[in-house]
Amino acid sequence: MPKHPQIVGEWWPISGDPDLGDLTSPQQQPVDFGTWQAKDGTWQLWSCIRTTKEPGKTRLFYHWEGAKLTDRDWKPMGIAMQADTPLGETQGGLQAPFVFRNAGQFWMFYGDWVHICSATSKDGKKFERRVLPGGKTGMFTEGADHDPNSPASARTAGSNARDPMVLRIGDLWHCYFTAHPEGKGAVYCRTSRDLTTWSEARIVAKGGQSGDGPYSSECPFVVELAPGQFYLFRNQIYGRNARCSVYFSHDPLDFGIDHDEDHFLCTLPCAAPEILKVKGKYYIAALLPTLKGIQVARLEWMSTK
């Protein structure tokens, strides 16, 4: 029987609502984020801040740093990244950074409102965009969005491919992300052996009790708790009534499509969760209910009868 994730104890805040200088807005909200440990052992947090005074889609990345994951109120480090339109990124369109390690480097995957893009770092703090042979950063998109080589000004919101999360399973990298072609949200996955050439997208979760609206499959995060035991965290609601649905599967490419009776486990009262494993212990990071910061709690996996 699959285990159920359970939030244990009290949450502690690791970030608040940042000062963006001239770009600060009373309506701004730290939302989708990435948390990781840098080469020097410090903890890094980059969050997409939305509804700022940044032109275009109003989003940019802000950076905090903490000595330990269990510390409260990490140090604000300033604006980390803004969209680079000459590289094909949508103005103000940066979304959902996710960082992982491979071959001695730190890799960041992020959305630019239309495409999934990437950047690399030697120290886990300063990242450089990976510019592809066509002179753009977009690796792939979903649905009817324009080609990554077309100018940003020619694009519409389209399917809004976003929220990438990367997991190595066997000899393949799996990039999970969400998009909503024709307003129908789903969790997609593409695979790669080298993080450069990607397979065609495959829908791995859609519909069921979580619905199929444009925001029904946000912030996908997959955990392989034990070999061949995969858990998908799939978000539906932000804010005071936050809700994230959790699914189980032995197949990392199938968590239920238009029916989820065999996969759905439970819901958690949190939004945009990221699952972290540190020294054998699991933690969950998620948005504050006020959408004015990020918080962390312990996570345990409970056996069921």
* Residue 121 confidence (pLDDT): 98
Rounded percentage of the chain residues whose pLDDT exceeds 70? 95
Closest CA to 15 of 45, 39, 41, 38: 45
- pLDDT tens column, 65-98: 999 999 999 999 999 999 999 999 999 999 999 9
* Residue 147 confidence (pLDDT): 46
* Residue 131 confidence (pLDDT): 97
- pLDDT tens column, 105-159: 999 999 999 999 999 999 999 999 999 999 999 999 997 554 444 444 333 447 9
Query: DSSP readout, 31-63?
Result: EEEEEEE-TTS-EEEEEEEESSS-STT-BEEEE
| Cβ(258)–Cβ(185) below 8 Å | no
- pLDDT tens column, 12-64: 999 999 999 999 999 999 999 999 999 999 999 999 999 999 999 999 999 99
Residue 190 in domain: yes
Residue 283 in domain: no
Residue 137 in domain: yes
* Residue 144 confidence (pLDDT): 58
Judging by beta carbons within 10 Å of its beta carbon (0-12, 13-18, 19+), is residue 15 exposed, middle or buried? Answer: buried
Domain count, the chain: 1
3-class secondary structure, 183: helix
pLDDT band at 305 (very low <50, low <70, confident <90, very high): low
| Cβ(85)–Cβ(91) below 8 Å | yes
Q: What angle do CA 175, 178, 301 make, to 5 degrees?
A: 70
Write the CATH number for 21.
2.115.10.20
Residue 19 in domain: yes
pTM for the structure as a whole: 0.94
Residue 278 in domain: no
Residue 238 in domain: no
* Residue 152 confidence (pLDDT): 41
Other C-beta atoms closer than 10 Å to the C-beta of 16 total: 16
Residue 210 in domain: yes
Closest CA to 153 of 94, 96, 86: 86
* Residue 243 confidence (pLDDT): 96
Q: Which residues contact 19 (CB under 8 A, 6 or more apart)?
A: 76
Residue 291 in domain: no
Mean pLDDT, the chain, integer: 94
Strand order, beta sheet including 172-179? 162-169, 172-179, 186-192, 202-205
Q: Which residues contact 177 (CB under 8 A, 6 or more apart)?
A: 111, 116, 142, 161, 162, 163, 164, 165, 187, 188, 189, 190, 220
- pLDDT tens column, 182-224: 899 999 999 999 999 999 999 999 999 999 999 999 999 999 9
- pLDDT tens column, 156-173: 447 999 999 999 999 999
Provide the residue range defining the domain that includes 203. 14-228
| Cβ(161)–Cβ(201) below 8 Å | no
pLDDT band at 177 (very low <50, low <70, confident <90, very high): very high
